[in-house]
């Protein structure tokens, strides 16, 4: 989806492809139990973060979100084609940077790029229904609740959990 040379600059951020040497910043947030509470995995070890950074660097669906001033990676985005004309966006950020609108700024920038592709008709995002911060972000991005569904708990527990799917459609001009 995104070439290795991809680079998108916003007012405060640089969004680029991930690199294997991002593992330290990735570890900083994927090792935090609070940050991964609603993810389908446990907090990462250093070794797991090294491997994951290498894997994500080889996957064009993952983008690093870095501070423009320091270059520090504070989170990442996930953008994937779900079906013809439909893309999914996902995100996870270091909790030390919450409340500063970095997730909103980066998601909005990538969504604007996606809308420049005429074949894209809809962008979706999903989260655990208990994740109020994520639901609020989706709504701020202009997404509407499309529906809820039960599935494996995003926290990795075996019980079924309620998930929310939000979406936004291409605006007709």
Q: Across-strand partners of 36?
A: none
**Domain for residue 144, yes or no?**
no
Asked if 102 and 93 count as a contact pair (C-beta separation under 8 A), the reply is yes
CATH number of the domain residue 115 falls in: 3.40.630.30
**Domain for residue 26, yes or no?**
yes
Q: Which domain holds residue 68?
A: 7-123
Q: Which residues of 14-38 are buried (b: 16+ CB within 10 A; e: fewer)?
A: bbbbbeeebbebbbbbbbeeebbeb
**Domain for residue 119, yes or no?**
yes
The percentage of residues in the chain with a pLDDT greater than 90, rounded to a whole number, is: 86
**Domain for residue 104, yes or no?**
yes
Q: Is 109 a residue whose pLDDT tops 80?
A: yes
Choose among 147, 148, 137, 143: nearest CA to 169.
Answer: 143
Distance CA(106)–CA(156), nearest Å, equals 27
Domains contained in the chain, number = 1
Choose among 29, 38, 16: nearest CA to 134.
Answer: 38
Distance CA(75)–CA(29), nearest Å, equals 8
Distance CA(95)–CA(133), nearest Å, equals 11
pLDDT in tens, 15-70: 999 999 999 999 999 999 999 999 888 999 999 999 999 999 999 999 999 999 99
């Amino acid at each position: 989806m995104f070439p290795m040379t991809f680079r998108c600059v916003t007012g405060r951020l640089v969004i680029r492809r991930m690199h294997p040497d991002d593992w330290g910043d990735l570890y900083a947030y994927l090792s935090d139990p609070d940050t991964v509470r609603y993810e389908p995995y446990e907090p990462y070890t250093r070794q797991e973060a090294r491997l994951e950074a290498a894997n994500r660097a080889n996957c064009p669906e993952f983008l690093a979100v870095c501070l423009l001033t320091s270059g520090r990676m504070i989170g990442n985005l996930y953008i994937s084609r779900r079906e013809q004309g439909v893309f999914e966006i996902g995100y996870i950020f270091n909790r030390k940077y919450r409340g500063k609108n970095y997730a909103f700024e980066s998601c909005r920038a990538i969504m604007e790029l996606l809308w420049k592709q005429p074949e894209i008709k809809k962008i979706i995002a999903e989260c655990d229904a208990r994740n109020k911060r994520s639901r609020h972000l989706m709504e701020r991005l202009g997404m509407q609740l499309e529906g809820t569904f039960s599935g494996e708990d995003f926290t990795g527990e075996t019980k079924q959990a309620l998930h929310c799917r939000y979406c936004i459609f291409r605006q007709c001009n």
